[in-house]
Amino acid sequence: MTLHFTKDVLPETVSSDFQNLNKLNEQQFHRLIEILFQFLLEPKETERFMQQLTDFAGEQGMSSAPLRNLMKSVLLVPQGALKKNLAAELIREDLVTLGLSEDKASHFSQQWAEHQEALSRQAVSQALMVNQLLDMEWKFGDQDVSISLHRRHLVVRSFMFSGNSTL
């Protein structure tokens, strides 16, 4: 099975998880994809995402643990697609290859097309915000190792901004 979003061989559970999504009716599937994209757009809101999945499972008479495992498989697609900057049509093809129905794959890819720009912008900003250099000091000096041997050394002191603190 050749997929655009990954070159890795996926476990069989991933394909069966996508086939299980076909058991959801249109309204249920749309709501689940809405929850998914809300999380993708606000990835720091993990607790809210988990609570929404638990609530969704309760409303649908499902157990939340299998739903969470299913969503782990579903998350592989947008994460891989984001890394490769895939077009919505390629995502639709991958979803159909994984066993998702044509209608559901089309809905997912439409949501991807709608949110791709924001997701890409967010991914770039997260990559750039890892550590911002605030200041750097340079010092050259001599260090006596023995009476006849001198070693030059360079001391570099950098100040990195990491969240709310300076390193």
Closest CA to 52 of 41, 73, 68, 66: 68
Say if CB 81 and CB 91 are below 8 A apart.
yes
Give me the pLDDT at residue 54, please.
95
The arithmetic mean of pLDDT across residues 80-88, rounded, is 89
pLDDT tens digits along 108-156: 999 999 999 888 887 776 655 555 555 555 555 554 444 444 555 555 5
Give me the pLDDT at residue 147, please.
46
Percent of the chain topping pLDDT 70: 74
DSSP code string of 46-76? HHHHHHHHHHHHHHHT--HHHHHHHHHHHHH
The arithmetic mean of pLDDT across residues 8-24, rounded, is 90
DSSP β-bridge partners for residue 160: 133
Cβ neighbors of 2 (< 8 A, separation 6 or more) are 97
Give the C-alpha separation, 76 to 13, whole Å.
Answer: 12
Asked whether residue 167 carries a pLDDT value surpassing 50, the answer given is no
Asked whether residue 95 carries a pLDDT value surpassing 50, the answer given is yes
| Pairwise pLDDT comparison (79 vs 154), residue with the higher score | 79
Give me the pLDDT at residue 122, please.
79
Q: What is the average pLDDT score of the chain? A: 81
Give the C-alpha separation, 34 to 92, whole Å.
Answer: 17
